[in-house]
Every structure is written in structure tokens, then in C-alpha cells.
Amino acid sequence: MESRKQRAVNKKDRVPFGGLQTKLQMSEADMQGFKERGTVPRWINDKDGRLERALNAGYTFVDPESVPSLGTKKLHQENTDLNDKVSKVVTRSGEPFRAYLMEINKEWYEEDQAKKEEVNSRVDRSLRPVNQGGQSIESGYTP
């Protein structure tokens, strides 16, 4: 009989049956691979010109070999993409479409996030309650 320690050594990454896992979720090992390459992954829906905007922003398509946790069977299930890109059929409000796994250099990702945060901060400041007569407004917005 196999000891508990041997089972731990022989155990590969697995998701317990009935465990929570999303359709587009990757393993920790896959995520570590992105980190080692200095990139950040993102699923991008093929709608409204988003793929073209992503390519123009510096995103590139992820090779299937970079995400073994998604598995060949999972990647090719319902996959009609002839260019061997990592994609999944997803649905939002009833209409199915494809989401593609892309990655971007971490520095560029962080620059983009900083620009978004600037806009968010301006909105927060504009909504922040103003002291009127030395009193704060209780029902005002607090970020």
C-alpha cells in the first residue's frame, strides 16, 4: 500500500471532482510560466474589434504548448480555429463567440493599469463629498 508521502510525490496537479474550476482557468504551473516569461495572460473576446485592439496594444497570441493545464482535448474541443491559437467558445447573453488567450509584456500591462487607475482616481475625486461649512456629508460617496 502506498504511503501518504508517496501519494503526495506521485500526485500531479489535479482538481478535486466537484471542485470549483472555471471554464477558462489555468493551473498555477501555467501561471508561473507566464510570470517567468515576464508576461501577463488575458482572455480576449472576439467581439467588437477587441482582438485587433489587443494586437495593436502589444498583446500576442499564446501558443498551446504554454498552457498544458488546458490540455489538448480541452483546447481542441469545439475549436474551429485553423491557426492553432488557444481559444474557447464562450457565451454572453445567449450568443456564442470565441475568446482567445493572449499575453502582454508585464511592463506594458502595468503601464496600462496605471493609466486606468489615473482615470478611476479622477472619477473618485469628483464624486468625493465636499466639506460644506466644516461638516462632512454622511450620504456622500467614499471610495
Rounded Cα gap, residues 4 and 64, in angstroms: 34
Bridge partners, 45 (sequence order): 99
Q: Can you give the pLDDT at residue 9?
A: 47
Which residue type is seen at 46? D
Query: Can you give the residue ranges of every domain in the chain?
Result: 23-127
Q: How confident is the model at residue 91 (pLDDT cuts 50, 70, 90)?
A: confident
Which residues are paired to 88 by β-bridges? 99
The answer to whether the predicted template modeling score (pTM) of the entire model surpasses 0.85 is: no
pLDDT (mean) for 3-11: 53
Where on the phi/psi map is residue 93: left (φ > 0), alpha (ψ -120 to 50), or beta?
A: left
Mean per-residue pLDDT, 1-20: 55
Tell me if 88 sits within 8 A of 98, measured CB to CB: yes
**Cα–Cα distance for residue pair 60/62, rounded to 1 Å:** 6
- Indicate left, alpha or beta for 58 from its phi (over 0: left) and psi (-120 to 50: alpha): left
